[in-house]
Every structure is written in structure tokens, then in C-alpha cells.
Amino acid sequence: MLVVVIQDKEELRASLRESQQATQKAKNEVEDLGRTINTQTEEITELKSRLSDMTKAISESSSITNNRELRGRHGGNDTRKGELRDMRESMEQRLLLTKLHARYDEVERENNRLKQHVQDLELIAAPSHSSGGHTGGSSSRGLEGLTRENEHLKAQLRDGQRAFAELRSSSETRAVGLQQKVDNLMHENNRLKIYVNTTRTRQPREDNSVPPPAYDDAFMIPP
């Protein structure tokens, strides 16, 4: 019975170490994600400002018949769309890499945990044989102490697992929120593109076949 409790204690310690490492890693991921969100938010704010300026410029130029100028503004809108697309692809790649790293770390932790468990069993096996001849009273007291320590370790492990789950949930929620911001901005950009195309179709096309207006003879300079 004592050997079983000792083994349980060692397994709990190993699990607690693993939980603490996972929690620290999650905290680091949250900090990295926070920095990424701040950077992406600044980029989104800048792009929103550009889109606002573009909308204002298009609105002001709706009465202008110069189709070349409108075409130039449309080209600028395509450039903004390309920037948004690149930003979205970059963010998707970052999220994918984060998930891949998390999965790799999970497998690596499990492998290390199994190795540690084997080493702990080997260390426990040797002293357990020599402790078999001790009196029943000392074994009972040792068993009670180990049981209390195991319960304490279990409580710490539960707290660590709960903290890790909360951090992971917070990271995923913030990532989803940022992705939604990018999607909304892409939708706004597409809406603006439709508006530009509609405005272009309403503008009168230039007619190069129409000759320039004739000058009045009264204003001709005599030879």
C-alpha cells in the first residue's frame, strides 16, 4: 500500500510540473497574442482611415466627368484590397503555426512525462524493498503523511489545470475576435469596390471624337 501511495505521489508531482509548464507556456502565448493583436489593430485602424478618405474622395468626385481620375482611385482601392488580403493570410498563417507548435509541445510533454514516470518507478523500486521490514506504526504514519501530501498535490494540479484552461480559452477568444475584425474590414472594402464600380458606370464616358470648341473671330488676333 505504501509503495502505491509513493508512486501516486510521484505521478502527481510530475503532472503538477507539467501543468505548471503548460500554464507558463499559455501565459507566454497570451502575451505574444496580445502584441500581435495590438499590431494588427493599428494596421486595421490605419486601413479604416484610408478607406474613409477614399470614400470621401469618391463622394466628392461623383460629379466629375474625368473617367481617368476615377479609374486611378479604383486602382488605389484594389491596392488596399491586396493589402488586406495579405494581412489576413499572414494572420491565418500565424494562427496555424501557433496550433502546430501547441500540438508538438503537447506530444513532447507527454513523451517526457512517460520517461520521467519510468525513472521515478525505477528509483522507487529500490528503497521499497528495504522499507518492508519497518514496524507497522511507522508505516502507518508515513502512509498518512503521504496521503495528505498527495491530496495537496491534487489540489495544486486542479488549480493549475483550471488556470491553463482559462488562459487557453482567453487566447482563442481574442484570436477569434481579431479574425472577425479582419473579416469585417474585408467586407467593407468589397462594399467600397462595388460602390466604385457603380459610380464608374454612371459617369459619362469621354468622347475623343468631339472637336474642341471653335473660337469666336472677334477674339482672333489680327495678323
Tens-digit pLDDT profile for residues 156-185: 767 766 766 776 676 667 667 666 776 776
Looking at the chain, the whole-number percentage of residues with pLDDT higher than 90 is 0
Q: What pLDDT is recorded for position 22?
A: 72
Quick one: pLDDT band at residue 210, thresholds 50, 70, 90?
Answer: very low
- The x, y and z cell numbers of residue 132, run together, are 518492508
- Distance of alpha carbon 125 from alpha carbon 136, whole angstroms: 20
Q: Supply the mean pLDDT for the chain.
A: 63
Quick one: pLDDT band at residue 21, thresholds 50, 70, 90?
Answer: confident
What integer is the mean pLDDT of 4-17?
72
Q: What is the 3-state secondary structure (H, E, C) of 153-205?
A: HHHHHHHHHHHHHHHHHHHHHHHHHHHHHHHHHHHHHHHHHHHHHHHHHHCCC
Q: What pLDDT is recorded for position 159?
A: 72
Q: What pLDDT is recorded for position 173?
A: 72
Q: What pLDDT is recorded for position 176?
A: 72
Q: What pLDDT is recorded for position 169?
A: 72
Higher-confidence residue of 25 and 132: namely 25
Q: Check: CB of residue 13 under 8 Å from CB of residue 154.
A: no
Looking at the chain, the whole-number percentage of residues with pLDDT higher than 70 is 22
- Distance of alpha carbon 161 from alpha carbon 22, whole angstroms: 9
Burial-class residue 125 by CB neighbours within 10 Å (0-12, 13-18, 19+).
exposed
- The x, y and z cell numbers of residue 165, run together, are 484552461
Look at the pTM and tell me if it is higher than 0.75.
no
At residue 38, does pLDDT exceed 60? yes
pLDDT tens digits for 112-128?
665 565 555 555 544 54
Which among 81, 116, 87, 111 has a CA at the least distance from the CA of 196?
81
At residue 91, does pLDDT exceed 50? yes
- The x, y and z cell numbers of residue 89, run together, are 493570410
Give the number of other CB atoms < 10 A from CB of residue 164.
Answer: 20
